[in-house]
Structure 1
Amino acid sequence: MNLLVHLYLAERTGTSAAGQILGDMVKGRLDGRHGAAVERGIRLHRGIDRVSDDHEAHRAMRRRFPPPLRRYAGILVDIGFDYSLARAWPAAMHGSLVAFAQRAQRRVIAEWPQTAPLPASRMRGLAATLAGYADPSGIQRALDSVASRLARASPVADALPAMLAERPAFDARLPDILADLDAFAAAGANESVWRPARPAER
């Protein structure tokens, strides 16, 4: 999943927000160098990604993208679910998306370990990024960022119209996948204890 879902689940579970960000940066075995709380967050991030990638809602959305976007559909679906979550921000979060985004940025910077591959100062634009997911212009910036990091030329930067066309499908499937990820995260990412339900494909 993408940034907003990961940080939403970190706040819901009281786990490390920095760990959720670092889950995309820190690879390989965790040996304690980043601190126990942050590494727990990294493990949770990895578990969330495994569960979401295998979830029927995620797989169904990936199948909706035609070639040549199909190759990048996993990335597009992750961003698409952030767009849906941002536009339907849960009242249970007790505040606006902007307030959550600012709070998440403060938490990430406060928890950021010195051993991280990037300095904490690089996280100063995080709140604006998160709040921007509620608007197509913010989704376009996310797509541009992804495209700039890919090793080869891709159609990712031009995928916004296709993503907007799938907005009803994203919105319809968000409750299923978010509920399962919420339960998974609350269980401490213990996949041997909890497995996501398989929602019926719409």
Structure 2
Amino acid sequence: MNYLAHAYLSFHQPALITGNLIADYVKGRQQLALYSPAIQQGIRIHRAIDTFTDQHPVTSRAKSFFRPACGLYSGVFTDLVYDHFLALDSSRFPGETLYDFATEVYDVINHQEETLPERFLDMFSYMQQYNWLYNYRNDNGMERAFRGVSSRAKGLESSPAVIFAVFLEHYEALRDCYQAFFPALQTHVENLLQTENR
């Protein structure tokens, strides 16, 4: 999953939000040990989310739309698409609550930035400046996200425009994938947290 989903599945708990967002920038046990047990839990939850997502048959279906255009990167673009439909999900973000939620997440990170990985903070500065979490909801934000992924993807031959066209062409089918998948993911995370917190 991408950043919005990881933040959302932290359930407004600052330490979980932090761990969930920095997980890809924390490598090995020595780096993990630098963080509190609560942030370490967020890192574990991030990795469990990624594993569940990658192994789910609905995600395989969503990736199949992108695979002809971007091969091994199909999963990265599927993650972005899931964030798009989560951002538009009025059952989870009614009214202006997505904007408020994005602000909450940025505040959590800004209050502890001196303890977080430098590479994460470099990325986070762009996330906040361009309000990625909120702008996943619109086409301009998604186009920017697709361009950003494409610029960092080694060996990706298709242009961002071609991959974005795949997103638009299969929009309804991809939304169906999100609707079938995301409730199962949320239940999985809730069960993990319940088990860990006993």
Cα distance per residue 1:130-155 (max 9 Å; x no partner):
11101111111111211222233432
Counterpart among 181, 184, 188 of residue 180 in structure 1: 184
Q: Which runs of 5+ in 1 are unaligned?
A: 192-202
How far is 1:2 from its partner?
Answer: 0.5
Cα distance per residue 1:48-84 (max 9 Å; x no partner):
0000111111011112235232332111111111111
Between Structure 1 and Structure 2, the one with more helix by share is 2
How far is 1:174 from its partner?
Answer: 1.6
Q: Which residue of 1 aligns with 2:78?
A: 77
How far is 1:85 from its partner?
Answer: 1.0
Q: Which runs of 5+ in 2 are unaligned?
A: none
The whole-number CA distance in structure 2 between the counterparts of 1:35 and 1:23 is 13
TM-score by length of 2: 0.83
Please tell me whether the aligned partners of residues 22 and 120 of structure 2 are also in contact (alpha carbons under 8 angstroms). no
Q: Judging changes above 3 Å, is the alpha-carbon distance between structure 1 residues 176 and 4 closer, same or farther for their aligned structure 2 residues?
A: same
2:52 counterpart SS class: helix
Q: Judging changes above 3 Å, is the alpha-carbon distance between structure 1 residues 113 and 79 closer, same or farther for their aligned structure 2 residues?
A: same
Q: Which residue of 2 aligns with 1:36?
A: 37
TM-score by length of 1: 0.81
Q: Which residue of 1 aligns with 2:9?
A: 9
Identity of aligned residues (%): 23
Counting matched residue pairs gives 192
Q: Which residue of 1 aligns with 2:137?
A: 134
1:24 counterpart SS class: helix
* Displacement over 6 Å in runs of 4+: none
1:33 counterpart SS class: coil
Please tell me whether the aligned partners of residues 52 and 58 of structure 1 are also in contact (alpha carbons under 8 angstroms). yes
- 1:16-31 aligned at under 5 Å gives the runs 16-29=16-29, 31=32
Please tell me whether the aligned partners of residues 34 and 116 of structure 1 are also in contact (alpha carbons under 8 angstroms). no
Q: Which residue of 2 aligns with 1:169?
A: 173
Q: Judging changes above 3 Å, is the alpha-carbon distance between structure 1 residues 93 and 184 closer, same or farther for their aligned structure 2 residues?
A: farther
Q: Give the aligned CA root-mean-square deviation in angstroms.
A: 2.7
